[in-house]
Amino acid sequence: MSKETGIMVIIGICLLVLFIGILKQRADLVLNFVVRMAAGAVAIVFCNQLLSKNGIDIMVGLNPWSLTTVGLLGAGGFTLLYGIMAYRLM
């Protein structure tokens, strides 16, 4: 292993330890984000099905970007996603 590779491995391990320490201190924020993301995914699926049954062509996809938006912004992110899709329909 070269000297540069060894230094990069040490820096990576240090960053991993710092990240784990931050997660331990802020576990409530991480849990809140995950719960909002899961609830948002369920709401998106339900809303997509409801709109599809009524013949409205607005559908939000489940992808990392939409789930991150809902996880960070909550209900505001959910309405933002559907607002963007409604705007694109116009």
78 close to 40: Cβ distance less than 8 angstroms: yes
56 close to 88: Cβ distance less than 8 angstroms: no
| Structure tokens, 2 | 């070269």
As a whole number of angstroms, the distance between CA 86 and CA 9 comes to 47
- Residues 19-42 have a mean pLDDT of 85
Positive or negative, the CA dihedral 46, 52, 53, 56 is positive
Query: pLDDT tens digits, residue range 35-85?
Result: 999 999 999 999 999 999 999 889 999 999 999 999 999 999 999 999 999
Q: What is the pTM of this model?
A: 0.71
